[in-house]
Amino acid sequence: MITKKLVFVLALLAVLLLVATTPSWALIVATTTADGNTTAPTETELADGDPGFIHVAERGLNTAVYVGYGWVLTAKHVGAGNVTIDGTSYAYSPGTVWTTGIVDLRLFRLSDIPRLPALTIASAPPTVGDEVVMVGQCNDYVPYGTTGFTVLGSGSEIRWGTNKVSEGTRTINVGSGTYVYEGFRVTFDESGSDYEAQAYPGDSGGAVFHNNEGEWELSGIISAVDGSNAYANPVLYGRHTYSVDLSEYRDQIIGHITPLSGDANLDGIVNDIDATILAANWNMSEALWIDGDFNADRTVNGIDATILASNWQQSAAPIGGASASAVPEPTTAILLLIGSLSTAALHFRRRACSR
Ligand SMILES: [Ca+2]
Ligand SMILES: [Ca+2]
Ligand SMILES: [Ca+2]
């Protein structure tokens, strides 16, 4: 027994020494993707370019995605609250949470509106073999021999990586029925995509983008990793990340977040305030909805004025009112349970770096 224990201790020491003497993986990635995948991918790094990296926000220790019109989408098991987008904090508007059953999705609204366009939410799921771009908030990590990575307890940043869908959409059950939803899966492979990624605690609520015939779409929200070893560290090849398939919930999400046409300031009514905004931005280029561009052609002109006029004095249900169901925050106990199953940091591996 003593001998076995000694062998175990020596093996443990060997592992610790290996970790301690290996450079930070993030630093290694930095030499191949310029900055360790912490800014939007260029077309040199990713053939189809930036999928919408800046839309992915820090939500506390987890992740959320700014989908447009003041709304943020995250996993249900990630609470609502202030978010940080590209270093700027945006305040949460209390009482605006929307969820649907036990699907691991949570929408909430910000009271400060980022100057970003709305994302396109996929109307069809990515299929097996399709490449996806995952974006989440993770800690630094170092290689664990050649079999995976060891996550460190610091260096949390928004990063992007890639993977390929390994199992198409089916019903995913997280935590024995705590969350059930339609979702798809990717597998963390040693010989995977160029920036092979795997989720880890912190990535929950992150984005899964898919390029559909030239247009980037938000296809998924990162929800879970394999249940029995979710917090296992090191993270070995062969593990899976599960994401909610947004095409299944697209109509509900769009129905909830899309404002009344003409409501530039997103207060639920079309009136002289909106007309004044539109007039002030007449002929503006690179315009957003909040500037008066209601047909999303990035300019403000007579088309937008006609749209506004056609809804003059119309009003929508107030935010947080009948159309929004505020739900209580999960208890700490439930959060811990789900965290152990599903919160996750992205691990990136570049083939060039592993050789
Ligand atoms: Ca893979
Ligand atoms: Ca208005
Ligand atoms: Ca327009």
pLDDT at 225: 86
Kindly list the distances between the CA atom of residue 349 and the CA atoms of 212, 322, 346, in Å, as whole numbers in the listed order: 24, 46, 10
SS3 158: strand
| pLDDT(14) > 90 | no
DSSP string, 38-77: -SPPPTTTSTT--SSGGGEEEETTEEEEEEETTEEEE-TT
SS3 281: coil
How far does the centroid of ligand 2 lie from the alpha carbon of residue 163, in Å?
41
pLDDT at 148: 84
| pLDDT tens string 197-249 | 988 888 999 999 999 999 999 999 999 988 555 567 788 888 899 999 999 99
How far does the centroid of ligand 3 lie from the alpha carbon of residue 89, in Å?
28
Quote the CA–CA distance of 334 and 305 in Å, as a whole number. 49
Q: Nearest 5°: phi and psi at 104?
A: -80, 60
200 and 163 share one domain? yes
Quote the CA–CA distance of 107 and 110 in Å, as a whole number. 10
| pLDDT tens string 146-156 | 888 888 877 88
Return left, alpha or beta for 145; rule: phi > 0 is left, psi -120 to 50 is alpha, else beta: left
| pLDDT tens string 41-98 | 999 999 999 999 999 999 998 999 999 999 999 999 999 999 999 999 999 999 999 9
245 and 291 share one domain? no
279 and 141 share one domain? no
Of 230, 255, 280, which residue is a domain's last? 255
Of 300 and 143, the one with more pLDDT: 300
Ligand in closest contact with the CA of 130? 1
Residue 22 pLDDT class (50, 70, 90 cuts): very low
pLDDT at 123: 98
To the nearest whole number, what is the mean pLDDT of the chain? 82
Ligand in closest contact with the CA of 303? 3
pLDDT at 231: 65
Compute, in degrees rounded to 10, the torsion defined by CA atoms 295, 301, 307, 312. 140
> Is residue 251 included in any domain, yes or no?
yes
Of 1 and 24, the one with more pLDDT: 1
pLDDT at 50: 98
Quote the CA–CA distance of 74 and 336 in Å, as a whole number. 17
Q: Nearest 5°: phi and psi at 310?
A: -70, -15
Range of the domain at 188: 6-255
How far does the centroid of ligand 1 lie from the alpha carbon of residue 30, in Å?
21
Ligand in closest contact with the CA of 192? 1
- CATH number of residue 49's parent domain: 2.40.10.120
SS3 93: coil
pLDDT at 32: 44
Ligand in closest contact with the CA of 117? 3
How far does the centroid of ligand 1 lie from the alpha carbon of residue 166, in Å?
7
242 and 302 share one domain? no
> Is residue 115 included in any domain, yes or no?
yes
Quote the CA–CA distance of 5 and 298 in Å, as a whole number. 67
- Which helix (H) or strand (E) element contains residue 343? none
> Is residue 162 included in any domain, yes or no?
yes
- Which helix (H) or strand (E) element contains residue 85? strand 83-85
Ligand in closest contact with the CA of 188? 1
22 and 161 share one domain? yes
pLDDT at 318: 60
How far does the centroid of ligand 2 lie from the alpha carbon of residue 318, in Å?
11
Ligand in closest contact with the CA of 314? 2
How far does the centroid of ligand 3 lie from the alpha carbon of residue 168, in Å?
37
Of 207, 230, 255, which residue is a domain's last? 255
36 and 97 share one domain? yes
Q: Are 146 and 354 in contact (CB under 8 A)?
A: yes
Residue whose tokens read 């939500």? 59
> Is residue 349 included in any domain, yes or no?
yes
> Is residue 1 included in any domain, yes or no?
no
- CATH number of residue 347's parent domain: 1.10.1330.10
173 and 52 share one domain? yes
Residue 305 pLDDT class (50, 70, 90 cuts): very high
How far does the centroid of ligand 3 lie from the alpha carbon of residue 64, in Å?
28
For the chain, how many structural domains are there in total?
A: 2
SS3 26: helix
How far does the centroid of ligand 3 lie from the alpha carbon of residue 121, in Å?
20
276 and 333 share one domain? yes
51 and 156 share one domain? yes
Ligand in closest contact with the CA of 289? 3
| pLDDT tens string 315-338 | 987 654 433 333 333 333 333 333
Ligand in closest contact with the CA of 292? 3
| pLDDT tens string 175-209 | 889 999 999 999 989 888 889 998 888 899 999 99
How far does the centroid of ligand 2 lie from the alpha carbon of residue 265, in Å?
5
- Give the percent of the chain with pLDDT over 70: 79
SS3 273: helix
pLDDT at 9: 41
Ligand in closest contact with the CA of 301? 3
> What average pLDDT score do residues 144-168 get?
89
> What average pLDDT score do residues 105-130 get?
97
How far does the centroid of ligand 3 lie from the alpha carbon of residue 304, in Å?
5
How far does the centroid of ligand 2 lie from the alpha carbon of residue 337, in Å?
42
What token pair was written down for 233? 């560290």
247 and 316 share one domain? no
Of 211, 237, 255, which residue is a domain's last? 255
288 and 336 share one domain? yes
316 and 182 share one domain? no
